[in-house]
Amino acid sequence: MKNNKIILGLGMFFVAAALIFLFFPDKNTNAEFDELKEAAKLCSDGKDKDCIEAFNSIHNGNSNGFNTQKTAQEKFGAEGSYGYDGFDPTNYLTTWNFNNLPEDEREKYYKETKRPDGSLLREYWIYAEDKEIEIAPGVFFPAWTYNGQVPAPTIRATEGDLIRIYFTNKGTKPHTMHFHGIHNSSMDGAMTEDFVYPGQSFTYEFDADPFGVHLFHCHSVPLKQHISKGLYGAYIVDPKNDARPKPDKELVMVMNAFDTNLDGENEVYAVNTKAFYYAINPIKVKKDELIRIYLINIVEFDPINSFHLHATFFDEYSTGTKLEPDAYTDITSMVQGERSILDVKFKYTGMYMFHAHVSEFAELGWMGFFEVE
Ligand SMILES: [Cu+2]
């Protein structure tokens, strides 16, 4: 869309303006602010070329030494660009049961077999592995992963299916897979006798029950370390008899964070691991289509996280375990492990921000855009 840069520029303008007041409340502020306002006016007057030039000029530091975009990025820790570490957050949004892989590659990790009652046996091959991942442009984190990615590959079944997971620990610490859901204690992956040591394997088997949006994570000790290092993923169970409206698009979003200096606090926040990824690569959707978001909060060390969406409201199904929404809102807050299904429709085209309404988290990476066409 041709106005992307303008809109992104405007977004950065407001963000930068807010930051200027926060960090540089000196008397130069008004002059800088006026310059930004002038540039923004060119955009709103439809003078696209002049507008882009004006923003570029500010961006290039030709304007009172003040560099809008750079300042905003630096304050947000979003300097530079991402390389490719094998994980693409845009693909992750719409990937479950390894459906992003070609068939011959997919069958190494996932297989489904019809059972006599019509339900499916779903088999997964999951391994734990230590791997360095890129969590902000140029910032690498020594993660513990499932199948080399954070969050793990999404597991998705229909209520009543049988899930069987062949888990192998290729990492350097004892790990497990602990699923939220209804199952036998021997499949809970939470006690010391359940730990799967490096080089060992274990097979988890349980019914997909109840329907909803759930999660799985390692439950080895220290738990906060095994979670914050990256061992978690989304587990979606679809209702057998679904009376909800049919979505046009489904997106998996895991709110996570990283403690890069091991001080027990997070330095980088995100949805789906990479800080500001969806600000740099907005999520493309269409006006009036129904977007169903499977939202999970797994952030360690901070007691509360939230999801706020601009310019529209959503139906929220808490934990996704009922067929009727229990809220109509534009913000939801979650403790660790909490999750919801959000049904979203945009009434207008444009670029719309979504972010944690915990400003610190937003400024450290947890913000992005929907680009509505
Ligand atoms: Cu672990």
* CA 201 to centroid of ligand 1, rounded, Å: 13
- CA torsion angle for 144, 174, 300, 153 (degrees, to 10)? 50
Residue 193 CA, ligand 1 centroid: distance in Å: 14
Answer whether 293's CB lies under 8 Å from 251's CB: yes
Report how far ligand 1's centroid is from the alpha carbon of 310 (Å): 36
CA distance 235 to 6: 38
Distance, CA 174 to ligand 1 centroid (Å)?
Answer: 6
Residue pair 371/355 in contact by the 8 Å Cβ criterion? no
CATH architecture of the domain formed by 95-238? Sandwich (2.60)
User: What protein residues have CB closer than 5 angstroms to ion ligand 1?
Assistant: 175, 218, 220, 226, 231
Token pair of 195, please?
A: 């730990």
Spatial contact of 275 and 365, defined as CB atoms under 8 Å apart: yes
Span from the CA of 19 to the centroid of ligand 1 (angstroms): 38
Q: Which amino acid, one-letter code, is at 88?
A: D
pLDDT at residue 84, as a whole number: 86
123 DSSP β-pair partners: 111, 164
What the block records as the tokens of 367 is 């913000």
Number of C-alpha atoms within 13 angstroms, CB side, residue 73? 16
Distance between CA atoms of 109 and 111, rounded to whole angstroms? 7
Rounded Cα gap, residues 95 and 109, in angstroms: 13
Task: Find the 317 Cα to ligand 1 centroid distance in Å.
Answer: 30
pLDDT for 54: 77
Measure 231 CA to ligand 1 centroid, in angstroms: 6
- State which H helix or E strand residue 118 sits in: none
Ligand 1 centroid to Cα of residue 146, in Å, is: 10
CA distance 105 to 147: 14
pLDDT at residue 10, rounded to an integer: 47
Q: What is the residue extent of each domain of the chain?
A: 4-76, 95-238, 249-372
Same fold, 95-238 and 249-372: yes
**Residue 304, H or E segment:** none
| Predicted local distance difference test score (pLDDT) of residue 44 | 78
Task: Report which DSSP code applies to 175.
Answer: B
**Angle at CA 156, nearest 5°, toward 216 and 366?**
60
Residues in CB range of 224: below 8 A, 6 or more apart:
300, 301
Distance CA 159, CA 342 (A): 19
Which residues of the chain have a pLDDT value below 70? 1-33, 56, 58-80
Query: Nearest to residue 366, comparing CAs of 227, 229, 224, 257?
Result: 257
Name the CATH topology of 249-372. Immunoglobulin-like (2.60.40)
Ligand 1 centre to CA of 212 (Å) is: 24
HEC readout, 24-92: CCCCCHHHHHHHHHHHHHHHHCCCHHHHHHHHHHHHCCCCCCCCHHHHHHHHHCCCCCCCCCCCCHHHH
Burial 302-313 (b: 16+ CB within 10 A, else e): beebbbbbeebe
Q: Are strands 249-258 and 291-297 parallel, antiparallel or unpaired?
A: parallel
Other CB atoms within 10 Å distance of the CB of residue 184: 9
The gap between the terminal CA atoms of the chain, to the nearest Å, is 8
Tokens 């994980």 sit at which residue?
87
Q: Which two tokens stand for residue 236?
A: 């979606």
